[in-house]
Chain A
Amino acid sequence: MFETYFAYSLRKPIPCFSTFITLLPIVLIITRKAYLDPTFKLLLFYSLSKLITDLLIFDSAVRQQNSIVYFNISIPVFYSLLAGMFYFKFSSSIYKKGILYSIGGFLVFAIWDISNSNLEITDFQNHRAVLFAKTVEGVLIIVLILMYFYEIINSLVIPDLLTFPFFWVCSGLLLYYSSFIFIAPILHYAASWKNIQDLGIARTVPYIFEIICALFFSVGVYHFSADDYAKQ
């Protein structure tokens, strides 16, 4: 069994590396006690859920089973966790309320999109990727990041952004979702069990930026200081 996993890893090194690189921010969050901050606690949960999802997808791919169902389920989970991070970061109560409503609204929308994209919801073998939800998730996350950038520029409380942990997290997410936003809707048509279409290098770009995103998370967590957080 191990040989099969290994052979698959050698065949698709970039997607596999993007799966296992998630371990780096997880380890850093735990060792640097960044989980003391609710934002980084949610980032830990996000990274853990991403790792589990990616491992399940990896396992399904090795077993030659349809893994799209994990991808679809992960969309509302990821959005809830990522938007939750911004909930703790925004100081405006209006933004906070907006985030809570968006989490609820997106959950409903994602469930509708999953069922709309798969008329036979119990047919896991022919399960298809959502048509809109991943793109909407990307747009919402990018909007949240831009709003957060606007807030930090206006408030002028962070003297050096390069040493501010959450700036790295935002930058990583912005790059990852920017790389994926146009590919996400195509996956509905391309990632079909009966008729898989190869998107070439365009499909690899999000994996590369997933790796960059994980590295950015790690840099951000590395700049986190539990002592400074305790003093706040």
Chain B
Amino acid sequence: MQNSEELKWALLIASMAMLMMAFCMISFVMYYQKRRFEEEKRINEIEKNYNRLLLDTALNSEETERRRIAQDLHDDIGTMLSLTKLSLNQLSKMVENYGNEKDDQIMRKSQSLVEETILHVRRITRDLVPTTLERFGLLEAVGEFVHKLEEGNKLAISFHASPEEFPRQGQKLELTIYRIIQELVNNAIKHASCSRIDINLEINDVLIDLRVIDNGVGFDPDKIKESNLAGLGLLGIESRLAIVNGTVQYEKPEKGGSRAFVQIPVMPVSDSKPEPLHPFRRERVNI
């Protein structure tokens, strides 16, 4: 009888011990899983930040290099071309005095070629470093970019953004938006064979919305991504957006053309007024 009682107690204690172990096991799995997830999340966050920093550095380097090239073009080649133009002007007066018409023609041709080269150098320099963006802001810079494109192409480009509603943003953000607009518009001209491009820029308290719509042949963004056809341009847009936590969506409307929709969170602008950057000053750009 006593053995039976002892057996009952032994059974009960053994079962309770086993149950306790089971409870501990379940709790451990839950705790350990949660901890590993948090750790994994933290590592991913570090990795993401590191990648963002790398991208940021790469883009900064690109901008610095653009500036250096622009500066070299202006300071060295630009100066030399100006001197060449002056020399040619003097030479032209001398040739005029001799009265040889053939020599005079060659001289004028040389002068016009030099002038043309100076203009080209100036244009390349401006393309490399958007001085208007730094001095007058995004809306002016995009307006100038659009105007220049319309001059050279049989293309209607409309740009809608209200200056009152679109205050100046941080330099980095403005440059990002400007480069994205440049890329999207250039893509539309190069690949979409379009005759009209609409650019819309809006801002609210939280987001900056950019819409670039063209009436060209359009493209299927999913197919491009699947077939690894995403060009450097599209990748460049995504890289720039990754730094400012922005997103881009491409759509192919049924009626034709293509539509790019970019959203970027508004960043607080620092109180210190950004020093106006001169394109031809030799210094590292900190965007």
Residues of A within 8 A of B (CB): 146, 149, 152-153, 156, 158-159, 161-162, 171, 174-175, 178-183, 186, 197, 199-202, 205-206, 209
Check A153–B33 contact: CB distance below 8 A.
Answer: yes
Main secondary structure of the interface of A (DSSP, over half): helix
Contact partner of B21 (CB less than 8 A), chosen from A149, A162, A178, A209, is: A178
Given contact pairs A179-B19, A205-B19, a sample of 17 additional A-B residue pairs in the complex whose CB atoms are under 8 Å apart: A152-B33, A156-B33, A156-B36, A159-B37, A161-B34, A174-B25, A174-B26, A178-B15, A178-B21, A182-B15, A183-B15, A186-B7, A199-B7, A199-B8, A200-B12, A202-B15, A209-B19
Check A202–B23 contact: CB distance below 8 A.
Answer: no
Residues of B within 8 A of A175 (CB): 19, 22-23, 26
Residues of A within 8 A of B21 (CB): 178
Interface band, chain B: 20 to 34
B29 in contact (CB, < 8 A) = yes
B161 → chain A closest CB, angstroms:
40
Main secondary structure of the interface of B (DSSP, over half): helix
Bound state CA distance, A197 and B22, in angstroms? Answer: 28
Contact partner of B11 (CB less than 8 A), chosen from A149, A199, A209, is: A199
B18 in contact (CB, < 8 A) = yes
Of all chain B residues, the one with the shortest Cβ separation from A204 is: B12
B260 → chain A closest CB, angstroms:
28
Task: List, sorted by A's number, 24 A–B pairs whose CB atoms are closer than 8 Å.
Answer: A146-B25, A149-B29, A153-B33, A156-B40, A161-B33, A161-B34, A162-B30, A174-B26, A175-B22, A178-B18, A178-B19, A181-B18, A182-B14, A182-B15, A182-B18, A186-B11, A199-B8, A199-B11, A201-B8, A202-B8, A202-B11, A205-B12, A205-B15, A206-B15
Residues of A within 8 A of B16 (CB): 205
B1 → chain A closest CB, angstroms:
11
Bound state CA distance, A201 and B25, in angstroms? Answer: 24
Within B190-228, which residues are at the interface with A (CB < 8 Å)?
none
Residues of A within 8 A of B166 (CB): none
Bound state CA distance, A200 and B25, in angstroms? Answer: 27
Of all chain A residues, the one with the shortest Cβ separation from B28 is: A149
Interface bits B217-249 vs A (CB < 8 Å: 1, else 0): 000000000000000000000000000000000
Interface bits B175-190 vs A (CB < 8 Å: 1, else 0): 0000000000000000
Within B12-65, which residues are at the interface with A (CB < 8 Å)?
12, 14-16, 18-19, 21-23, 25-26, 29-30, 32-34, 36-37, 40
B4 in contact (CB, < 8 A) = yes
